[in-house]
Structures are given as C-alpha cells and as structure tokens.
Amino acid sequence: MRVVLATGQYAAAPGPLSAAVSLAEGWARTAPGDQVVVAPVSDGGSGFVEVLAHALDAHPTPVVVTGPTGQEVPAQLLLHEGSAYVEAGQAAGRHLGADVLEAVLGPGDHRAQDESGERAARELSGLTSRGVGELIEAALDAGAGRIVLGCGDLASHDGGLGLLQALGAGEDLSGLPAVRERLRGTTLLLAHATPVPLTGFHGASAALGTEHGVPAQVTQRLEERLGRLTEQVNRILPSRTDLLSGTPIRPERTEGAGVGGGVGYAAVLLGARPVVGATFVLDEIGLADVLPGALVVTGGEAYDYRTVHDGVIAEVAHAALEVGSPSIVLAERIEVGRREGMSLGVSGAYEPREGEDLAALAQRVARTWSPRP
C-alpha cells in the first residue's frame, strides 16, 4: 500500500518535515512493506521554505536580516529555477519577539496601569517587519523573476511599514511609488496562511483578540494605528478603480492583507497577488500527482473549527477527495466531530494517547489502515 504523509506543523516537532519523518518512522514499525511518501505541507507560515526545499530538492541560501526587535537573525532564501521563496516568519516570527509579547501581554500589573491600551499598542507596533523586506531585497539582488512570500502569524504588527521602508520607501513612505515601479517586472505572490483583511471587525487587530487573547483596548488602539497608515498610503498612491463596478479598490480589504500584522498589506501595495498558502504549496510540489490510489494522511497541531475550513488539513483533504483517495487526520488536538470531517471526505481522525509521541501515534493508526500480510 502507498501512504502519502501530507502533514503540516505540529507543536511536538520543530518543523513540518521533521514531523512527517517521525510519522513515517512510526508507520514503518507496523507496516514495513508499505510505500510511505513523505510530503509535508505548509500553509505559508512555519516551515514554508523547509517544505519547498525538500520537495524541489533545492538548498536554501543563508542570509542575515533584522528581527522584529531590531536584532540580527538568521534566515533563508530558497532559489529554484528563477523563483525565490521567502518565509516571513524567519524574519519576524512570534518566537523572535516572544520576550516583548510576554512583557506587554503577559500577566502582571501593567494592564491596570495602561487601561487605554495605548502603551501596549505602541510597543506591539514597534515590532518591525523590516527583515521581511530585507528578504525580498535579497531575492531581487539574486535576480529572481518570481518572488513568493509565505506569511502566517508574526510578532510584528506594523502594517508592513518596516517591509516597505527596507525596500526604499523612506520613513514617510514618499518613495513607495518608486518601489512599486522597481518591482513592476517581477512576479510577486503572497502565499498567506489566512485570508484576514488588514482592518475591520475581522481584520488583523481583531484577530489578535480572538486568536491570541489580546485585550480589546489594545486591539482598538492597533486598529486606529493601521487606519492612519492606510490614510497615509492613500495620499501617496493614486487609488485604482474596479473596471466592472467602478468602485475604488481598497488594498486594506484584500484577502490576506492582514496576515502577519499587515505584511500582507505591504505585499499587496507592491503588486503581490494573494494566494492561499496551502493550495499554493500543494500545486508547487505537485502533490496531486501522487495522491491517486494512496491513503492520504494529513494533520497538524489542531483539527478544530478553523482548520476544518482552511489550512493544510482542509486543502489536503479536498485534494484527496477530488481524486477519490481516502484521507485520515493525525492531530495533536481534535475538536471537531465525524460529521464535520465527512464534509471534507475525512475517513477518520486520531490524536495521541497519554505518553504517545508522533511516531507512536502513527504506529498505532497503521494497525487499522494497513492490511497485514
């Protein structure tokens, strides 16, 4: 039997590739005769470059960029056949700004002293996306004709201001038109992990409250700051009009503009075309070619109300359903029932028992799904 391990990010593993390898090792303990294909998938967030490097058999180039707190951090640039793949999380991931995030949002007396949320919003906005712009600059210097920016949750929440400044837009963004002109001949894609817009009730700031528990008074201040940024940009860049409806095009309302605290917005301003991260990766690595006739195993840290609709699990399950292959989910946490999974074509979902690691989970599940000789 052929088993395709098209899994995403797990909390118990440093990246999607190492997680998929652990699952493959566990599966082989029970079914050593199965042909196991290790094909990890990223949604544009963690492991984006690692997954593509594995699938494309390419080696990333190390670079050093500015982290969210201004320190130098290591990152990677993946070049392959004229394309450059960069991962925003390597330059501005939440792990790089963990100390600031904990100090501002963690438990303590600071909230009582900052009832308006202004200080917290100011410090969060100070976490910069500059390093993401430096990654794009490195891709341009390498002569890439197509640049794919993978982006998920980040520490930065500056609306992509640091990214634009790193590319030469200037402190007041007056050079933004020149930066856009410079990128005119380059294909730029934004592979986003979530379609959240920049502003509004479902925007980037609001998502901090629902996803990370940031207090409402802080998210409101952050929303105001992003609103002022869009007003500044609208004064610098001439607004475009939709040819069909005649209404002004609002970049801040574009799907994916709010990803990474506004890094998506900056990419859209530069002419990026937003694409669903997991769908892009599936197409880029040619996963559809190996799915027919296989048992498709997907999964990640959580199989819940959000991942049942978008992300790695949902996209892989849809791809398997299109070719009539059965799919199962191995997740560290399962919060949806069988009925929701059936809408994706998922045949079963499994989470670790107490004391089980990923390898042991796969070893146990293989006893059910792999026919014994």
Q: Where are the domains of the chain?
A: 2-41+291-369, 48-280
Q: Residue 112 has what pLDDT? A: 46
Architecture of domain 48-280: Alpha-Beta Complex (3.90)
Average pLDDT over residues 257-281: 97
342: pLDDT confidence band, cut at 50, 70 and 90? Answer: confident
Least confident of 2-11, 101-110, 113-122, 348-357: 101-110
Give the model's pLDDT for residue 102: 86
Which CATH number is 2-41+291-369's, of 3.40.640.10, 3.40.50.460, 3.40.50.10350, 3.40.50.300?
A: 3.40.50.10350
What is the predicted pLDDT for the residue at 114? 63
**Per-residue confidence band for 339, with pLDDT thresholds at 50, 70 and 90:** confident
The tokens for 372 are 């014994």
Average of per-residue pLDDT across 233-247 = 82
Q: pTM, whole model, 2 decimals? A: 0.94
Mean pLDDT, rounded, for 228-253: 86
pLDDT digits (tens, 9 = 90+) for 67-124: 999 999 999 999 999 999 999 999 999 999 999 888 877 765 445 456 678 888 899 9
pLDDT score recorded for residue 217: 92
Write out the chain in H/E/C secondary structure. Answer: CEEEECCCCCCCCCCHHHHHHHHHHHHHHHCCCCEEEECCCCCCCCCHHHHHHHHHCCCCEEEEEECCCCCEEEEEEEEECCEEEEEHHHHHCHHHHHHHHHHHHCCCCHHHHCCCCHHHHHHHHCCCCHHHHHHHHHHHHCCCCEEEEEECCCCCCCCCHHHHHHCCCCCCCCCHHHHHHHCCCCEEEEEECCCCCCCCCCCHHHHHHHHHCCCHHHHHHHHHHHHHHHHHHHHHCCCCECCCCCCECCHHHCCCCCHHHHHHHHHHHCCCEEEEHHHHHHHHCCHHHCCCCCEEEEEEEEECCCCCCCCHHHHHHHHHHHCCCCEEEEEEEECCCHHHHHHHCEEEEECCCCCCCHHHHHHHHHHHHCCCC
